[in-house]
């Protein structure tokens, strides 16, 4: 934590502050470009710990620390490794240590950010076959964090819970994200796959984000994050645009695209 305070040159500025990502998410002036910067830095950190064969198991905005200058995040670091374990995809454990680690990870996590396999392991125990110690549990948590980064601050706690429940249960996202940010929507969907084997790895997320999604989020540097209140809609398998108006206000012919 002592590395989070002062600037890299050792100076201290009144405009520079250390805060959790949860606190930063309360800012209404956040833009989609800001969200891209924070998520890109977060995924580099997640990729780093996964390369070290570490699974955090409890990623959430409260455990992510930021250094901000004039409300712009300059540094992102992951904290609170109390539930961290070793990735079982890379190394074999003896029967006792494997069982202990599975139980520890299954009991950890925070509601709303917890991957489905951890919930399954918690309900049915290690015998359920769920590999709760895979690094894919962190990717699922990052998908939920990305959704929060894209949205304006929630007005109430129940609004946040409702939004996260809809995403966790049915992969429902706000209509603006589903329609106006298709590449971001697809990344969210693939990071939040119920089957961990089908979920993207940290390496894949970083490549996809830098190649496609960052450009989409940064098209307008002044675009504020989306409001979570407008109508929700499922991730569309087809899009219908009937009798829509174009930018000139004229009615154009409807079309259906699969």
Sorted by where each begins, the domain ranges of the chain are 15-217
For residue 147, the SS3 value is helix
CATH topology of domain 15-217: Transferase(Phosphotransferase); domain 1 (1.10.510)
Q: Cβ neighbours of residue 131 under 8 Å, at least 6 residues apart?
A: 88, 89, 117, 196
188 alpha carbon, distance to own chain's centre: 8
How many whole angstroms separate alpha carbon 34 and alpha carbon 71?
A: 9
Could you report the average pLDDT of every consecutive run of 10 residues in the chain (258 residues)?
54 68 92 95 96 92 90 90 72 39 51 88 60 82 96 90 90 87 94 94 97 91 73 42 43 46
Spatial distance between the Cα atoms of 225 and 220, rounded to a whole number of angstroms: 11
**pTM, full prediction:** 0.77
Q: How far apart, in Å, are the Cα atoms of 246 and each of 9, 58, 197, 216? A: 51, 45, 42, 21
Q: What's the pLDDT at 117? A: 87
Contacts of residue 227, defined as CB under 8 A and 6 or more positions apart, other chains included, come to 151, 152, 174, 176
Q: What is the reported pLDDT for 255? A: 45
CA distance linking residue 171 with residue 235, whole number of Å: 7
| Secondary structure (3-state) at 2 | helix
**Rounded distance, CA 154 to CA 171, Å?**
18
N-term to C-term CA, the chain? 50
Q: What pLDDT score does 233 carry?
A: 45
- Phi/psi at 147 (nearest 5 deg)? -60, -45
User: Would you state the structure tokens that stand for residue 135, as one six-digit string?
Assistant: 């690094």
Looking at residue 240, its pLDDT comes to 35
């Amino acid at each position: 934590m002592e590395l989070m305070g002062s600037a890299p040159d050792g100076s201290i500025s009144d405009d520079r502050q250390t805060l959790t990502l949860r606190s930063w998410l309360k800012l209404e002036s956040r833009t989609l470009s800001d969200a891209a910067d924070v998520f890109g830095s977060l995924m580099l950190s997640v990729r780093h710990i996964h390369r070290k064969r570490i699974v955090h198991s409890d990623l959430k905005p409260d455990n992510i620390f930021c250094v901000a200058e004039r409300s712009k995040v300059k540094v992102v670091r992951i904290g609170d490794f109390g539930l961290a374990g070793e990735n079982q995809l890379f190394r074999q454990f003896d029967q006792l240590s494997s069982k202990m680690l599975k139980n520890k990870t299954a009991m950890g996590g925070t509601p709303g950010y917890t991957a489905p396999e951890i919930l399954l392991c918690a309900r049915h125990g290690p015998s359920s076959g769920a590999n709760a110690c895979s690094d894919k549990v962190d990717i699922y948590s990052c998908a939920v964090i990305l959704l929060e980064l894209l949205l304006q601050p929630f007005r109430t706690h129940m609004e946040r819970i409702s939004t996260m429940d809809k995403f966790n249960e049915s992969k429902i996202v706000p209509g603006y994200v589903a329609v106006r940010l298709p590449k971001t929507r697809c990344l969210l969907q693939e990071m939040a796959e119920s089957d961990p084997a089908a979920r993207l790895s940290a390496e894949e997320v970083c490549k996809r984000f830098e190649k496609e999604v960052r450009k989409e989020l940064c098209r307008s540097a002044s675009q504020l994050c989306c409001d979570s209140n407008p109508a929700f809609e499922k991730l569309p398998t087809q899009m219908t645009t009937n009798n829509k108006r174009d930018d000139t206000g004229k009615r154009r012919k409807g079309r259906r695209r699969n």
